[in-house]
């Protein structure tokens, strides 16, 4: 069982690395937010799934297991809300997309 | 401010009580077989008290229909089987784009139509799309009895409303309709 | 066992790399996004350290950090939109 836990944690470490590299390389704010979602979803879910297996089958500590499940539920329920709020706030504050963006139908509709 | 009905208060109290059980660690005691009665009674009182005040912000339509075993079964199937598959595909796609040397992105904001009518279904679809890497909902708008989402998409395949909607929503909208309508 | 500790150290190192983006990020929204990501990475390190040491108290700290990060990010978003 412990090797399954290690595999899950390495899996989430790979996605966290990809998210960090993406956040350093992406050209504008919204693309950086996409990479940040990469960290928050699979990085966090991998660590929490590994922690649930580890605390349930290795430590036999059910209080930690319940707390980990609460943390997972909390992350899944609140991450989209803050991402939505900050994307809308950044757009209305005046952050521009990169110059050669494919299309911006939000701006076209706001100018009407 | 409209008043909350009695079923709405009951539904909010049940949800608050479940969160009380999770946060106080009482569920672990229940599993181990030695629950403390004081904590359960205090939790029930606090849940009803909170529900009296907050039900009218929390529930707007058809309060009791979530407590239906068929819907809870489909929600579990969605959360365990369908959504992680979509999440894995999108995560792998964005990780590959971030790690490849040429940085092959083509960002843009597209407008997609939504056929769902209920507010619960719309918010679940919006949260699922935002939680998937590669797409972020930026705003929602209602035009002529039809709802639209503005979505920031990291690689725009087509700027047409219907094609972009089919590519972004995929299977998610069918499942949201099956759970909430 | 100690692989858990090494992975926690890896997550902290990744969070330190993100400080570069926190310093050079051109606008306030960039800095808010990066601060949220650093918060999540520190949470992951805290969970791994709780599993390594076998104490539940670190999970309480991680939960409080998650709640504060969510409230802070949402408030910064509403403030930038101009509706606060």
Distance of alpha carbon A90 from alpha carbon C28, whole angstroms: 8
Average pLDDT over residues B5-33: 82
Residue B29 sits in the same domain as residue B58:
yes
- Separation CA A15–CA A18 (nearest Å): 5
CB nearest to B31's CB, from A28, A62, A97 = A62
| pLDDT tens string B68-104 | 788 888 888 888 888 888 888 888 988 888 888 888 8
Please tell me the pTM assigned to this model: 0.88
Q: ipTM higher than 0.90?
A: no
Residue scoring higher pLDDT (B57 or C59): C59
Is A53 near chain B, with CB under 8 Å? no
Distance from CA of A93 to the nearest CA of B (A): 13
Percent of chain B with pLDDT over 70: 96
Q: Chain B contact for A4, CB < 8 A?
A: no
Is residue C14 within 8 A of residue A38, CB to CB? The reply is no
Q: Which chains touch B (3 or more CB pairs under 8 A)?
A: A
Tokens matching residue A31? 């693309």
The pLDDT assigned to C16 comes to: 92
| Pair B62, B115 in one domain | no
Number of A/B CB contacts below 8 angstroms equals 134
Residue, of C21 and A101, whose pLDDT is higher: C21
Task: Give A65-87 as a DSSP string.
Answer: HHHHHHHHHHHHHHHHHHHHHHH
Is the per-residue pLDDT at B175 higher than 90? no
Report the C-alpha gap between B141 and B159 in whole angstroms.
18
pLDDT of residue B178: 84
pLDDT in tens, C5-23: 998 999 999 999 999 988 9
B1 within domain boundaries: no
What distance in Å separates residue A64's CA from the closest CA in chain C? 6
pLDDT, mean of residues B5-29: 83
Pick from B23, B95, B154: which is nearest to A15 by CB? B95
If one compares C19 and B1, the residue with the highest pLDDT of the two is: C19
C-alpha–C-alpha distance, residues C24 and B174, integer Å:
43
CA–CA distance, B2 with A23 (Å, rounded to integer): 45
Asked if A18 lies within 8 A of B126 by C-beta distance, the reply is no
Q: Shortest CA distance to B110 belongs to which of A105, A29, A95, A98?
A: A105
For residue B1, pLDDT over 60 is answered with no
pLDDT reading at B13 higher than 70: yes
**pLDDT grade for A96, boundaries at 50, 70 and 90:** confident
Reading the block at residue C46, the tokens are 């805290």
What is the largest distance, in Å, between two alpha-carbon atoms of chain C?
Answer: 49
Q: Are residues B152 and B93 in the same domain?
A: yes
Q: Determine whether the interchain pair C77/A88 forms a contact, defined as Cβ–Cβ distance below 8 Å.
A: yes
Smallest Cβ distance to B139: which of A19, A26, A88? A88
**Amino acid B169: pLDDT:** 82
Distance CA A58, CA B141 (A): 50
Q: Which residues of A touch B28 (CB under 8 A)?
A: 62-63, 65-66
In a shared domain, residues B29 and B73:
no
Same domain, B99 and B139: yes
Average pLDDT, chain B: 83
C84 contact partners, CB below 8 Å, separation of at least 6 = C75, C78
Residue C57 is inside which H or E element, if any? helix C57-81
What is the percentage of chain B residues whose pLDDT exceeds 90? 2
Rounded to the nearest angstrom, the gap between the alpha carbon of residue B77 and the centroid of all alpha carbons in its chain is 14
Same domain, B12 and B88: no
B2 band by pLDDT with thresholds 50, 70 and 90:
low
Q: Give the burial class of C81: count Cβ atoms within 10 A of its Cβ; 0-12 exposed, 13-18 middle, 19 or more buried.
A: middle
**Domain-embedded: residue B161:** yes
Question: What's the pLDDT at B63?
Answer: 67
Cα B78–Cα B82–Cα B85 angle in degrees, nearest 5: 145
B91 and B168 in a common domain: yes
Answer yes or no: do B81 and B147 share one domain. Answer: yes
* Contact list, A32 vs chain C (CB under 8 Å): 21, 30, 33-34
Number of domains in chain B: 2
For A46, B30, B132, the CA distances from A42, given in Å and listed in that order, are: 6, 31, 10
Q: Per-residue pLDDT averaged across A39-47, rounded? A: 89
Q: Which of B66, B100, B117 is the last residue of a domain?
A: B66
In-domain check, residue B45 = yes
Kindly state whether residues B58 and B111 are assigned to the same domain: no
- CB < 8 Å to C50, chain A: 51, 64
Residue B59, domain extent? 6-66
| Domain boundary residue, one of B25, B42, B66 | B66
CA dist., res. B14 & res. B41, Å (int)? 13
For B27-68, write each residue's pLDDT tens digit.
777 777 777 788 889 989 999 998 888 888 777 777 667 677
């Amino acid at each position: 069982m412990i090797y399954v836990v290690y595999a899950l944690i390495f899996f989430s470490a790979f996605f966290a690395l990809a998210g960090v590299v993406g956040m350093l390389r992406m050209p504008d704010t919204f693309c950086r937010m996409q990479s940040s979602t990469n960290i928050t979803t699979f990085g966090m879910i991998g660590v929490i799934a590994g922690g649930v297996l580890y605390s349930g089958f290795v430590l036999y500590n059910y209080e930690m297991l319940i707390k980990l499940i609460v943390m997972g539920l909390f992350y899944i329920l609140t991450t989209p809300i803050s991402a939505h709020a900050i994307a809308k706030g950044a757009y209305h504050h005046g952050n521009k997309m990169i110059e050669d963006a494919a299309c911006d139908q939000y701006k076209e509709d706001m100018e009407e | 401010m409209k008043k909350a009905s009695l079923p709405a208060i009951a539904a909010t109290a049940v949800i608050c009580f479940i969160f009380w059980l999770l946060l106080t660690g009482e569920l672990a005691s229940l599993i181990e077989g030695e629950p403390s009665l004081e904590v359960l009674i205090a939790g029930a009182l606090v849940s009803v008290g909170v529900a009296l005040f907050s039900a009218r912000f929390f529930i707007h339509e058809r309060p009791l229909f979530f407590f239906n075993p068929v819907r809870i079964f489909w929600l579990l199937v969605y959360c365990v089987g369908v959504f992680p598959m979509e999440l894995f595909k999108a995560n792998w796609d964005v990780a590959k784009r971030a790690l490849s040397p040429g940085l092959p992105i083509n960002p843009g904001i597209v407008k997609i139509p939504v056929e769902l009518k209920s507010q619960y279904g719309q918010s679940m679809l919006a949260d699922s799309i935002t939680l998937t890497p590669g797409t972020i909902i930026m705003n929602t708008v209602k035009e002529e009895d039809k709802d639209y989402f503005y979505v920031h998409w990291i690689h725009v395949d087509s700027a047409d409303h219907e094609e972009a909607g089919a590519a972004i929503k995929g299977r998610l909208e069918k499942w949201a309709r099956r759970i909430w309508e | 066992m100690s692989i858990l500790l090494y992975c926690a150290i890896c997550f902290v190192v990744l969070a330190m790399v993100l400080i570069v983006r926190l310093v050079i990020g051109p606008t306030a929204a960039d800095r808010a996004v990066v601060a949220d990501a650093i918060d999540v990475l520190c949470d992951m390190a805290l969970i791994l350290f709780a599993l390594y040491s076998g104490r539940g108290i670190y999970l309480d700290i991680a939960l409080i950090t998650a709640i504060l990060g969510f409230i802070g990010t949402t408030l910064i978003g509403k403030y930038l939109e101009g509706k606060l």
